[in-house]
Amino acid sequence: MFGIGLPELVMILVLGLLVLGPKRLPEVARMLGRFYGQLRRASDDFQRTIRQDLEAIERQEDVDRNKAVTDELRERFAGFDGVQTAIKERQSDG
């Protein structure tokens, strides 16, 4: 948690107790806890959104790449339509 060890945490609590007093310290600690939770959820949501967007971009790149390969294959094999027609004509003639 933020790289804070036990000695640092004790020091923060003692300083908080001195500055805020025993009555306000629990209230402020709860408020900070809620704020930390909200910040954590917002961070998780942001990371999830970025991850989903990156996955969508990768999927679209895959689709584009597959379309390019398909188009290239169609161009290369377009000439074989005439061969197929010629074979059928010869078979029907024979």
Lowest average pLDDT, out of 22-26, 56-60, 70-74, goes to: 22-26
- Is 34 contained in some domain? yes
- Is 75 contained in some domain? yes
pLDDT exceeds cutoff 70 at 1: no
The domain of 41 spans: 6-93
pLDDT digits 0-9 by tens, 11-46: 888 888 888 888 888 898 899 889 999 999 999 999
Exposure b/e, 15-24, CB count within 10 A at least 16 = b: eeeeeeeeee
Q: What is the DSSP string of 44-85?
A: HHHHHHHHHHHHHHHHHHHHHHHHHHHHHHHHHHTTHHHHHH
What are the angstrom distances between the C-alpha of 35 and each of 26, 41, 51, 56? Answer: 14, 10, 24, 31
In this prediction the pTM is: 0.55
- Is 1 contained in some domain? no
- Tell me how many domains the chain contains: 1
